[in-house]
Amino acid sequence: MTAIAERTACRLYLTTPPELVSGGIRLRDFLDRLAPAFEATDAACLLIAAPAETGDDALGAIAKPLIEMAQRQDIAALLPARAELAKRLGADGVHLDLRGADTATALGLYRDARRVLGGDAIVGALLPAERHAAMELAEAGADYIGFDSAADAASELIAWWAEVMTVPCVAFGVGDPETARRLAGQGADFIAIEPKAWLSVDPAPHLEMFRAAIRAG
């Protein structure tokens, strides 16, 4: 199991930008930005994000070289929700955005992904900022539980989670280094920063500020 599914010192969780799918950033240019960014961040994970309407062929064409680059650096590469495609491409697992699902539906979607991918793959979940569904998913075997850092209850929930639960917690949507430092200090195991850093030709210095911030947390 890769480090994203283990409790370690807080690390960064990277997400590709929507412009990579829309064509606003060329894949070749993004790969050139990604290599030095990996060196600068000691990231644990790369989520290859895409809108729900993106076809498997289009997502696969983008995802394959990203998966290969991430895995060469011992960084877990995840796809959004598509377990069959993740298995076919050799990704490390999937990320499930379950914020709009009730607990029963969330558990069903988790179990479907786990059935396809097996016990060794990563299946993580982003959930509403409340305890019940998060605990249910953790007990079912989710490899990480994520909360949207913009939610009113997120900060308190992350601190509580770090005290009482063993499943790693990811703070999603973190937009600045100071917020990253604070949430790392409150117990977040991974900080998933907003993907706007990738719009820079050289995102590595921006990402390094987040890395330094979580170490200070």
**Contact yes or no for 206/189 (Cβ under 8 A):** no
Residue 103's pLDDT is 95
Residue 41's pLDDT is 83
Residue 9's pLDDT is 85
Where on the phi/psi map is residue 173: left (φ > 0), alpha (ψ -120 to 50), or beta?
A: left
Give all domains of the chain, ordered by start, each with its CATH number: 3-216 (3.20.20.70)
β-bridge mates for residue 217, sequence order: none
Helix (H) or strand (E) holding 76: strand 76-80
pLDDT at 200 over 50: yes
pLDDT at 135 over 90: yes
Instruction: Name which residue leads in pLDDT, 37 or 47.
Output: 47
pLDDT at 153 over 50: yes
Confidence of residue 199 (pLDDT cuts 50, 70, 90): confident
Residue 6's pLDDT is 63
Q: List CB contacts of 36: < 8 A, sequence separation 6 or more.
A: 202, 204
pLDDT per position as a tens digit, 76-124: 999 999 999 999 999 999 999 999 999 999 999 999 999 999 999 999 9
Confidence of residue 217 (pLDDT cuts 50, 70, 90): confident
pLDDT per position as a tens digit, 3-34: 576 667 899 999 999 889 888 889 999 999 89
pLDDT at 1 over 70: no
Residue 8's pLDDT is 72
Q: What is the mean pLDDT of residues 177-202?
A: 92
Buried residues in 85-104 as b, exposed as e (16+ CB within 10 A): bbbebebbbbbbbbbebebe
pLDDT at 201 over 60: yes
Q: Which long-range contacts (CB under 8 A, 24 or more apart) does 174-180 make?
A: 174/149, 174/210, 177/209, 177/210, 177/212, 177/213, 178/213, 179/149, 180/210, 180/213, 180/214, 180/217
Number of helices (H), then strands (E), belonging to the chain: the values are: 9, 8
pLDDT at 160 over 60: yes
Q: What is the mean pLDDT of the chain?
A: 92
pTM for the structure as a whole = 0.93
Identify the three-state secondary structure at position 80: strand
Residue 186's pLDDT is 94
